Amino acid sequence: SINAVIFDLDGVIVSTDDCHYRAWKMMADEEGIEFNREINERLRGVSRMESLAIILVKSEKEYSSEEQVELATRKNNYYVDLIKELSPADILPGVMDILTELKARGIKIAIGSSSRNSPAILKNIGLGGYFDAEADGNHIQNSKPDPEVFLLAAERVGVSPVECLVVEDADAGVEAGLAGGMPVLGVGAASVNPTATLQADDLSKITVDQML
């Protein structure tokens, strides 16, 4: 039986795609690197430095590792400014109903996100302190598709991985959950991922009974 649900943040609880896109785009334009929404799609669920490496495939210039850290930091400064505008209105459809019902049924809820900005995003959308546990990019060595962030979230809620359902929008995240021995509900971009245990367009299209 499922005794905990671990939610990815970006793309599951709140859509930050556009903030990531605009922040990477500003940096890429300044550097004269080609970047578009199609490339942005490939960054879903991927860590900040791995995202930069994907973007730099299009760069004519070779950047030293110090310069790469500067590029990623510059993007993050733009991103931090953009996410200040997020509010509870940006919570995705169906999310609050599902969270409320899981809590009412005594099912643990946790965050498992690659983002180091996860605490700030949760605070801005009014969900700071709402989850039983949080595991994010600040707490891990290996990012998705490695299962580390989800295993840490499971440990923090005290539920064994096989009794945790992961909710993910990224293919890397679906792979991570499955690698951790957890069933995975794919939503958004991952709602068409055939390896996901369950699929739904978004959390308004599935019930807690179907999830459990």
Name the site residues for Mg ion (rule: CB under 5 A): 8, 10-11, 45, 169-170
Among 137, 145, 181, 183, interactor with ligand B16 by CB under 6 A: 137
CA triple 79-192-49, angle to 5 deg: 30
Strand order in the sheet with 164-168: 133-135, 108-112, 4-7, 164-168, 184-186, 198-199
Please give the DSSP secondary-structure letter assigned to residue 122.
H
Q: Is 75 annotated as a binding residue?
A: yes
Among 25, 27, 39, 45, indicate the residue that binds ligand B16 (CB under 6 A). 45
Instruction: Determine the residue with CB nearest Mg ion.
Output: 11
Is 41 annotated as ligand-binding? no
Q: Please indicate if the annotation marks 116 as binding a ligand.
A: yes
Which segment (26-34, 98-106, 113-121, 186-194) binds ligand B16 by CB under 6 A?
Answer: 113-121
Using CB under 6 A as the binding rule, whether residue 108 contacts ligand B16 is answered as no
Dihedral over alpha carbons 44, 190, 7, 116 (to 10 degrees): 0
Judge whether 18 counts as a catalytic residue.
no
Farthest CA pair distance, the chain: 55
Residues near ligand B16 (CB under 6 A) are 8-11, 20, 43-48, 51, 76, 113-117, 137, 170
**What is the set of active-site residues?**
8, 10
